[in-house]
A and B are shown apart, each in its own frame.
Chain A
Amino acid sequence: MLTYTKKLKFHEYPFLRGKPSLLGRLDIELTERCNNDCIHCCNNLPEDAPARHREMDTAFLREIVTQAADLGCLSVRFTGGEPLLRDDFAGLYLFTRRLGMQVIVFTNGRLITPELAALFAKYPPGNPVEISVYGMRPESYDAASGRKGAFHEFRRGTGLLQKHGVRFVLKSSVLPPNRADMAEFEEWLQELDVENRRPRYAMNFDLRSRRDDPGKNERIEKLRLSPEETVRVLARSPRYVEEMREFCGKFIGPPGEKLFSCGAGHGACVDAYGRAQMCLPLRDPDTVVDLHKATLKSALEDTFPKLRETRATHPEYLARCARCFLKGLCEQCPAKSWMEHGTLDTPVEYLCDVAHAQARYLGLIKGGEKAWEVGNWRERRTLMMETKGK
């Protein structure tokens, strides 16, 4: 029986203390380079891109991670690009773990070696490794990832994690080359001893977060599922309606003029070049802090709180999004607006359409209704909650 110590999960710790640390989790994009060239990716540079020379060096990364630990941070997420492309990944991983923080690794799994799998087994990350799956067979995976032979490397990587007993989760993207693989992916999830067997899909793809490639943006837009297709995929989960009812009961409602109703800026993300961002895709230069000149603490205490007070000025946003009760269901946010339009407050029509399609499916609005014109949204939400379980 414990008497002197209390055991709890990492995510329970802030609740035990009654107040969160200044920084709960730090996201670090170790590189924007990737060994894949996925047809839908918003964020990849070629593996040998010159940007490599501008990336944070090991010493600087260690300094950032140490600052995070000093601020009470409990988790660091390493993402990219493909974070395992960095030669110093294993050292950074162990350094971060030795500071007493959990690590979350986002990877395509292709570069997992026996040595790395053994390291994860000996010093577990504290969170399942998160692996993106681009197909269930060589033809589909390689077509979606833009790399011949990638599928076999990905399967070897997941096999190594299994062999070493490392926990991992899988998530997929619904793309033209792999749409026929969905059932097989879901069967595989059931067979594997993975942390979460529930299928997770990306399908409403983001545009380029650096706003650097209009041609690729056009191609990404063509890969997005239509709003109706999105609902069909979401509704494959038998618990979709029940969960959305619960979610909407808590989180929908007009956001008003304040732009940041999300968690952006409560934590921090660091891009590959040492700039702190309020969230990973929000790269508007007016919202980032250069960590070569300032500290994480100053970004979190001074810059981000001021930015979080930003109010919308775009007339369309004020007329629609600010009054729309589907906020919560809709993914409209400053980062999405930035990627689509280069501003923080321009409505993203595609996301608006997806939210409306979901709302129609859930019975919150009728065909042809615009959610920002609905006055009795509270009654509708209550009605939806009352039908729970029926």
Chain B
Amino acid sequence: MELGLDAICTASEDVVAREIEGELIIVPLAAGIGDAEDDLYTMNETGKAIWGRLDGKRTLRDVSAELAAEFNAPPGEIEKDVLGLAAELARRKMLVVL
């Protein structure tokens, strides 16, 4: 599925996000999420910053704009990161597109 910047996303109820000593890990809870039941997923710093804003209210454009302002980064690059992560997580059913 192609995601656009107007999409609104939120974490699936079938995953659990945990923070262990500052690191964000995503644990699949239900069958069919992720690739195998004994997998977990860690997120890089960019992913962590984006994940925290995927709250089911902001569009991906809003998220990108906030991050671009916060990190003083070119909006185009941030948009690419946000769309990239959202697509990656949606493909693994860890993210729900509303």
Contacts and interface: CB of A to CB of B under 8 A. Distances in A.
B38 A9 contact: yes
A97 B18 CA distance: 12
Interface in B6-50: 16-18, 20-21, 23, 25-27, 29-31, 34-35, 37-44, 46-47, 50
11 contacts: A3-B88, A5-B47, A6-B43, A6-B44, A7-B34, A9-B40, A10-B40, A13-B42, A21-B21, A69-B18, A97-B16
Nearest to B35: A7
Shortest beta-carbon contacts, A-B, top 4 = A100-B16, A4-B47, A124-B37, A100-B27
A72 B47 CA distance: 20
Given A3-B88, A99-B16, A13 B43 contact: no
A9 B84 contact: no
B85 interface: yes
The bracket for how many chain B residues form the interface is 20 to 34
Contact of B81 (A4, A5, A122): A4
Contact of A3 (B18, B27, B31, B84): B84
Nearest to B44: A4
A16 B43 CA distance: 12
A9 to B, nearest CB: 6
B90 to A, nearest CB: 12
B44 to A, nearest CB: 6
Contact of B85 (A4, A97, A99): A4
Q: Counting chain A CB atoms within 10 Å of each CB, which of B26, B39, B50 scores highest? A: B39
B40 to A, nearest CB: 6
A21 B18 CA distance: 14
Contacts of B68: none
A123 B29 contact: yes
A123 B42 contact: no
B97 interface: no
Q: Counting chain B CB atoms within 10 Å of each CB, which of A2, A5, A16, A127 scores highest? A: A5
A102 interface: yes
B45 to A, nearest CB: 10
Nearest to A167: B37
Interface of B: 16-18, 20-21, 23, 25-27, 29-31, 34-35, 37-44, 46-47, 50, 81, 84-85, 88-89
A98 interface: yes
A220 interface: no
Contact of B23 (A2, A9, A17, A101): A17
B84 A100 contact: no
A126 interface: yes
Interface in A283-341: none
Given A4-B43, A7-B41, A21 B20 contact: yes
A124 B27 CA distance: 12
A374 B40 CA distance: 47
A102 B28 CA distance: 10
A124 B31 contact: yes
A8 B40 contact: yes
Contacts of B41: 5-8
Nearest to A97: B29
Contact of B31 (A7, A101, A123, A127): A123
Nearest to A99: B16
